Every structure is written in structure tokens, then in C-alpha cells.
Amino acid sequence: MALCGTTATNVTKMMAAYNGGSSAVAAHHPHHHHHQLQHLPPPHMHHHHHQQQQQHTHHLQQQLDIEPDRPIGYGAFGVVWSVTDPRDGKRVALKKMPNVFQNLVSCKRVFRELKMLCFFKHENVLSALDILQPPHIDYFEEIYVVTELMQSDLHKIIVSPQPLSSDHAKVFLYQILRGLKYLHSAGILHRDIKPGNLLVNSNCVLKICDFGLARVEESDESRHMTQEVVTQYYRAPEILMGSRHYSNSIDIWSVGCIFAELLGRRILFQAQSPIQQLDLITDLLGTPSMEAMRTACEGARAHILRGPHKQPSLPVLYTLSSQATHEAVHLLCRMLVFDPSKRISAKDALAHPYLDEGRLRYHTCMCKCCYTTSSGRVYTSDFEPVTNAKFDDGFEKNLSSVRQVKEIIHQFILEQQKGSRVPLCINPQSAAFKSFISSTVAQPSEMPPSPLVWE
């Protein structure tokens, strides 16, 4: 996995730009040992594209068929295939959202995810490049979304034998937090941050994906929120303890677990059950105070109080690996805080000195927000941008029947396509179409396990 090079002098220069908050041009370009970056696989030009014209009720429209190629599964809901965009020969990912219109709950979930994918505009958050042209509403059963194609994900990388340097850990963590700061600024909780949902390309650019469980934060503390969230190993203690209300800090807990996993290359809290999961957490952090457990349900609190009083054993984090420096462990301990209200935010975590080098590397040779001129690198004025407007989920309130949501989604997709590009559709004649169309949702084992019901 190629990482581009940076130097210490560069850090100082860039931090000057960062602290100044305005764009700056690096005076010289210091000696870069620029590794040759791997590029995406070449476009498959041999695909023949049936160009066809379709008679629509109101207008003639040119459409290009897209042919599925091979499955590249990621995501809790839906299947992802790699395809070639016939308009430019570029390789992209095609996500099928199946069984959308089975019931109102799945309709709403899919519509929310679709709206989010169209809303996102951030380098570290996966977004929709396109949505395939839907058929007539009577035949409209599935939704296909085109996104950027990513070669791997953090889970595959962590379990692979390829070496992961501390530079890798820093640039990955930087990008996770950069994406999360953006999502949280939009008022969105991801709720299933795990290594498999962090896509990585061969240049080590990282994008947060899978918004199947994401939702808008709930400011009213009396409102109950579902506990069907977060793969167990990355699940925050307040969720494990049956808290009925939680905030975006549940995502930060997950990032802390992933940070430790990047350093140690093994899952930090790998328990067999939700109760054991909580026990492993208290083994490390010690018995929480009553204050830290104030949102927990009675049964969970009783479980903690019944058990032995535990002292924190945080120094054990230094044994994760030689990369677990004071700075790394300091930041890690700010994320792995039992009390969600005392856990660091994505914004504050990004200000931690551990991430300075990751920021520099990212903006020196990986980002799209800065650029290089003959006189040096021109840095963006805002290294970690937020959204201008919050994601508005008000549209969900008036959704009351499957048929109605189907019509609204159909209309929404058609509106997204009022661009200059020729609309795409699936080619039902293609050889791969059969297996593509029959591929369904993730196996139950890939779904987040249901939460424990405390007595």
C-alpha cells in the first residue's frame, strides 16, 4: 500500500498554514521521496455497450447500459458490484439496494440512505456518483447506486500480512476523524463504524461507507432510540448498558477501538457476548462511576455493581505495539472514555498533535482540496471542512405507505438525473445480469447482532 512521503520541515510549514487558518504556499518544495502511487485498474474498454434509445411516455431519452462485472461485497444492506461506466470507461462500484419496497420501515431506511448518499460532498465520505434510471413505477423494485470504486477496506488491510507503519495508522485515523467531523457537523450519527465500513484505495485514501444504519441525531433526550446499532466489538458502553438515548460520541468510541486495532493489529475488545463485551471494557477502564452510568438501565448498573471493583489498567495500551507512543496512547485514552459526555469529539481529536503528521501527509499528496503549482503546494483554507447545512430528515415524517414512498423515491431519482450526463440503466441481456439480479442482502451473520435485553 503506497504512501507518499513527507518530511519534518514540511510539518512545520503546514502547521503554520493550519494555525493561520488561511491558504499558504509552501516556499520551496523540499526533497520529496515520492513513491510511485498505484493507480486504479485500467478501464475495460473491450466491454461493448449496447446503446439504445427508449421511448418514454413524454420524451425520448438516450440511455447507456451498464454491465455488472464481479461482486465486491461490502455493506450491511445490499450488494456491491464493480462495473465499467460506459460513458467514460471508468471503473465504479454499483450498489444494489434490494427488497426496498417490502414494508414501510425498509422503504424509509433506503430512502434515508439514498438521500444521504446524494447529500454528502466530502473526500472521506462515500457518496453517490449516480443512480441508475428506474424503470416504469410498476416495475420499480430495486435501486442501483453508482459510487466510487475502492479496492479494499480497513478490515481486509488489518488482517492482511502487509506491513502497516505508524504513518499508515496516522493517515488512516486522520481521514476517519476528518470524515466523521463532517458527518457529525451534518447532524448524522453513522452508528456502525467498523473497519469493514472504512473503504481504502491503493493510495490509502479512506472513505466512510454504509449508511444503512445512519440517522439524524436526536436532541430530545426523552426520545428513545433503537439499540440495533454497531457491530458488537465496536459498540460503546452506553449502548451495551441499555442507554435509551445516545449521541454522536458512540461513533468516537468505535473509532477508538479501531485506532487500537490499527496499532495492535487485533480487535481490542473481542468478546463472545454483550455482557462479556462490557466486562472487557471495564477490565481496561476500571469500574465506572455512578455518574458515568447515569443513562444506563437498572439491570446493567446492577451487573456492574454486583461484580468486583476493578482498577483501570490503561498502561496496558502501551503494549499494543511499538507504535503505541505517549501521543498515540494519550489520544486513544481520550476516545475510550466510559462517560459519553466526557469522550473527545471528532473536531477536538483532530486538534491532537498525534494527527499533525497524518494531516500533512494527506494534504501534501492525497487530498483533492489542495494543489501543487510550480512554486509549491497551495493548501486549502480549511483542512477539515464541515457542512453548510445539516442533513434534514423532515421528509420522513410524512411517509405513510409503501406505495407513496415508492412514488416519492421514483420521482427523487428522476430529479437527480437532470444533469448533462446520459442516464445509465442495467443491461438485462448481459451475462452477469442473472447472478447480479439474484444476489441479495448480506447473510444474517454479517448483520449487527441484536442488543442484550437487560433484566
User: Does 369 sit near Zn ion (CB under 5 A)?
Assistant: yes
Binding status of residue 112 toward Zn ion by CB under 5 A: no
Task: Please give the angle made by the CA atoms of 270, 274 and 275, to the nearest 5 degrees.
Answer: 100
Indicate the residue among 150 and 370 with the shorter CB distance to Zn ion: 370
Number of residues in contact with Zn ion under rule CB under 5 A: 5
Say if residue 455 is exposed, middle or buried (CB neighbours under 10 Å; 0-12, 13-18, 19+): exposed
Instruction: Report if residue 378 touches Zn ion, rule: CB under 5 A.
Output: no
241 vs 367 by CB, closer to Zn ion:
367
Q: Give the 3-state secondary structure of residue 18.
A: helix
User: Could you tell me the three cell numbers for 353?
Assistant: 498533535
CA distance 108 to 303: 36
Least spacing, CB of residue 347 vs Zn ion, in Å = 17
Q: Which helix (H) or strand (E) holds 80?
A: strand 79-84
Residue with smaller CB distance to Zn ion, 325 or 380: 380
| Contact with Zn ion (CB under 5 A) among 180, 206, 367, 424 | 367
Q: Is 207 annotated as a binding residue?
A: no
N-term to C-term CA, the chain = 48
> Which residue among the candidates 130, 192, 251, 356 is catalytic per the annotation?
192
Residues 6+ apart with CB under 8 A from 224: 244, 245
Cβ atoms of 359 and 173 within 8 Å: the answer is no
Q: Is 363 in the site for Zn ion (CB under 5 A)?
A: yes
- Taking CB under 5 A as the binding criterion, the range among 124-132, 147-155, 282-290, 375-383 that sits at the site for Zn ion is 375-383
Minimum CB–partner distance for residue 368 and Zn ion (Å):
7
DSSP line for 143-206? EEEEEE--SEEHHHHHHSSS---HHHHHHHHHHHHHHHHHHHHTTEE-----GGGEEE-TT--E
CB of 97 to Zn ion, least distance (A): 32
**Residue in 370, 405, 409, 424 binding Zn ion, rule: CB under 5 A:** 370
Q: Which stretch binds Zn ion (CB under 5 A): 62-70, 293-301, 379-387, 439-447?
A: 379-387
Q: Which stretch binds Zn ion (CB under 5 A): 73-81, 84-92, 327-335, 366-374?
A: 366-374
Q: How does DSSP assign 271-340, residue by residue?
A: -SSHHHHHHHHHHHH-SPPTGGGTTS-HHHHHHHHHS------GGGGGGS-TT--HHHHHHHHHHS-SSG
Residue 166 to residue 148: CA distance in whole angstroms: 27
* Nearest one of 257, 263, 261, 249 to 344, comparing CA atoms: 249
Give dist(CA 223, CA 232) in Å, integer: 23
Cβ of residue 186: shortest distance to Zn ion, in angstroms?
20
- The residue range among 71-79, 333-341, 353-361, 367-375 that interacts with Zn ion, by the rule CB under 5 A, is 367-375
Give least dist CB 359 to Zn ion, A.
9
Per CB under 5 A, the segment of 17-25, 160-168, 315-323, 362-370 that binds Zn ion is 362-370
Confirm or reject binding of residue 13 to Zn ion (CB under 5 A): no
State the minimum distance, in angstroms, from the CB of residue 178 to Zn ion: 10
Between 255 and 367, whose beta carbon lies closer to Zn ion? 367
What is the rounded CA–CA span in Å between residue 384 and residue 188? Answer: 16
Q: What is the CA radius of gyration of the chain?
A: 23
Q: Examine residue 337 and tell whether it contacts Zn ion (CB under 5 A).
A: no
Binding flag, residue 359, Zn ion (CB under 5 A)? no
**380 contacts Zn ion (rule: CB under 5 A):** yes
192 is an active site residue: yes
Which residues contribute to the site for Zn ion (CB under 5 A)?
363, 367, 369-370, 380
Q: Which residues are annotated as a binding site for ATP?
A: 95
Residues annotated as catalytic are: 192
